[in-house]
Amino acid sequence: MKTGSKPRAEIAGAGIGGLTAAAALAQRGWQVRVHERAPDLRAFGAGIYIWGNGLRVLEAIGAYDEAAVGAHVGQWFETRDHCNRVMEQIPINSSGGARLITILRETLIRSLTHACERAGVEIVTGSHAASASADGELTLDDGTRLQADLIVASDGIGSRIRDSLDLLAYREPLHYGAVRMLIEMGQNDVAAEDRGKYIEYFSGTRRILYTPASATDLYIALCCADDDHAARRVPVDTTLWKESFPHLGHLIDRFADAGRWDSFEVVRLRQWARGRVAIIGDAAHAMPPYLGQGGGCALMNALSLAVFATEHQNDLPAALVQWEERERPMTEHTQQTASLLGHMNNWPDELRSEVMVLTGQSEYLANERMKTALHVPTGT
């Protein structure tokens, strides 16, 4: 970096992590450009959980007020068994407890984009990053080479930048996934007393996640094994799902042809950074969604990256090492806890019910589950 000049960052990927890093860096005096391979910044139509840790980040970068418009703020998160009996009931948004809002993913992306625009970030769509070098050179698909003080790879689970630097330790398919969809909320979808709750229903190896995402939008995730081909089909086989969840028949009848199937994976890197290149989001630490913290960890690590990079501009490689040492333990705790929760997918119904009732009574396990949600991120 030349004396007196602004430090420059090139960011690959305009998702949650990339836009958060861009806004946070620009707010700290960086010249920032974001490269998004898609022709626009539209997000897949689904809901997203933002717990207290992520909300703190949105507040810190000035994106919270817009992101929270129309958000659903529930009071309970419940898990229920194949007989619709409550196994766990976790209070949310109560005094001293974990904060949580659910919003549309497109609302979150829009609020982050506007935070970037206010900070002077340049966002280039249709620009596909191909690789990077440790000395800070980003190469695009068309052969363009861009030099930067910092390169941030937020280019998703199949990150080309990460792989160009040989940072991947493993990428493990979990052989389980979900059909995610948004539908209009109906008055008769569930019992009146349950409409404002976040509820996860279990039956055999299948789950249904019921989440209000706004006053009118309902986020649904139909979870099943990869090899449960009938259950993962889109359009949804409503007869099949009603056989597993007869008490949700009215809701299931409205699924129509909405939804998209995604398989869950876990990604772990040997290092989160090399030289002047940092990897964030799913490219660094993809995790199953059972804690609703994939986006939250991306938000936390992106803001922290901006803090460390700004405070130690004179030695960026060392700053990225310190950043990883600070943030990786919490992210890996979250990743491991989420993976453990997924082990119950293949348990017999009665065993799972007994275990979840017992674990729901454990203060220690409840604290471990909420640890990330209650975490105070760097920079907030």
**DSSP assignment of 195-234, as one string?**
TTSEEEEEETTEEEEEEE-SSSEEEEEEEEETT-TTTT-S
β-bridge mates for residue 223, sequence order: 178, 207
Q: Is the distance from CB of 137 to CB of 150 less than 8 angstroms?
A: no
Whether 143 maps to a domain, the answer reads: yes
- Contacts of residue 5, Cβ cutoff 8 Å, sequence gap at least 6: none
pTM, rounded to two decimals:
0.95
Return the CA Rg of the chain. Answer: 21
Whether 235 maps to a domain, the answer reads: no
Whether 195 maps to a domain, the answer reads: no
Whether 60 maps to a domain, the answer reads: yes
β-bridge mates for residue 373, sequence order: none
Whether 26 maps to a domain, the answer reads: yes
CA-nearest of 325, 335, 283, 282 to 305 is 325
Whether 319 maps to a domain, the answer reads: yes
Containing structural domain, residue 300: 8-172+264-370
Whether 182 maps to a domain, the answer reads: no
Overall number of domains in the chain: 1
β-bridge mates for residue 132, sequence order: 138
The four Cα atoms 40, 41, 43, 48 give a dihedral, to 10 degrees, of 180
CATH of the domain at 16: 3.50.50.60
Burial of 275: CB neighbours in 10 Å, binned 0-12, 13-18, 19+: middle
Per-residue pLDDT 10s for the chain (380 aa) are 555 689 999 999 999 999 999 999 999 999 999 999 988 877 666 899 999 999 999 999 999 999 999 999 999 999 999 999 999 988 999 887 799 999 999 999 999 999 999 999 999 999 999 999 999 999 999 999 999 999 999 999 999 999 999 999 999 999 999 999 999 988 888 988 998 999 999 999 999 999 999 999 999 999 999 999 999 999 999 999 999 999 999 999 999 777 889 999 999 999 999 999 999 999 999 999 999 999 999 999 999 999 999 999 999 999 999 999 999 999 999 999 999 999 999 999 999 999 989 888 888 888 888 999 999 999 99
